[in-house]
Amino acid sequence: LRANYAPYMNEKGDLDGIIVLFQDVTEYEKLENMRKEFVANVSHELKTPLTTIKSYTETLLEGAMENQELGKQFLNVIDNEADRMARLVRDLLQLSNADYQQTKWDKKEVDLNYIVEKAVLNLSVSAKNKEQELNYKGLREGVSVWADENRIEQVLLNVISNAIKYTANGGCIDVSLEETQNHATIKITDNGMGIPKEDLPRIFERFYRVDKARSREMGGTGLGLSIAKQIIDVHEGMIKVDSRESGGTAVLIELPLLQEKMCN
């Protein structure tokens, strides 16, 4: 609680009382702390690859370049770290664009079946590289939703690529699309390493990662799921991550169906 005081004078100029204003600043302080934590996280995430790039470049300049084999190895590290920074900046821009509503959402009637199929196809090579099975069970007819196609595709790419990333070689990933009365439900399940129960409530927070080192190693920024949630929220949908009893992870995405105009 923050308090401000001001004297209250009568017409003669005598002190008549004191005005005390109490302000509840809990919410303000919470936001301020979140902002500080976010800036600290971004700085740290950018600093890590920069430090690596700098030290490898220095070693190259100090003579490591003379050994061609070693030089190439170092350049590869630098290239990977630069890629990581690019991914991070891309994800940050995506978050801030949507935050400030600067991007116009290009919403129109789209067929969800088509979008899910496209995302699955897009990632089938990554799954194949890990000898994983990536199955899609869609619907025969189109499923109409009012959505920004690219954004929803981005959500699916984030979630399905997580399933691929956090599932061992030879694992299995199932994607399905179902229609209930008012909603289209996309389910992405994998039989990978799963997420510990205690981490589930925080999984959509920016930069939250169950295993920071492992996620980094796999090219993760810790922003994929928060971006997914932000996009789904704008579509008035719901996204939920759960552990499967049999092990592995299940992600559920619900989007409102585009209702046909009813007569009467």
Give the interface with ligand ADP as residue ranges (CB under 6 A).
158, 162-163, 166, 190, 192-195, 203, 208-211, 215, 220-226, 249
Max Cα–Cα distance, the chain, nearest Å: 90
Closest CB 261 distance from ligand ADP, rounded Å: 38
List C-alpha distances in Å: 91 to 96, 222, 261: 9, 9, 37
Which of 131/217 has CB closer to ligand ADP? 217
Closest CB 29 distance from ligand ADP, rounded Å: 26
Q: Tokens 């007569």, residue?
A: 263
Closest CB 137 distance from ligand ADP, rounded Å: 18
Q: Token pair for residue 211? A: 């295993």
> Of 140, 252, 111, 115, nearest to 187 (Cα)?
252
Which of 94/158 has CB closer to ligand ADP? 158
Which of 49/222 has CB closer to ligand ADP? 222
Closest CB 18 distance from ligand ADP, rounded Å: 51
Where would I find the beta strands (DSSP E) of 65-221?
A: 107-111, 133-137, 144-148, 172-179, 183-190
Closest CB 209 distance from ligand ADP, rounded Å: 3
Where would I find the beta strands (DSSP E) of the chain?
A: 2-9, 15-23, 107-111, 133-137, 144-148, 172-179, 183-190, 238-243, 249-256
CA 41 to chain CA centroid, Å, is 15
Which of 110/163 has CB closer to ligand ADP? 163
Q: How far apart are CA 47 and CA 60, in angstroms?
A: 20
Which of 74/151 has CB closer to ligand ADP? 151
Q: How many CB atoms lie within 10 A of CB 112?
A: 26
Q: Residue 25, SS3?
A: coil
Closest CB 192 distance from ligand ADP, rounded Å: 5
DSSP state of 8: E
Which of 56/84 has CB closer to ligand ADP? 84
Closest CB 224 distance from ligand ADP, rounded Å: 3
Which of 48/57 has CB closer to ligand ADP? 48
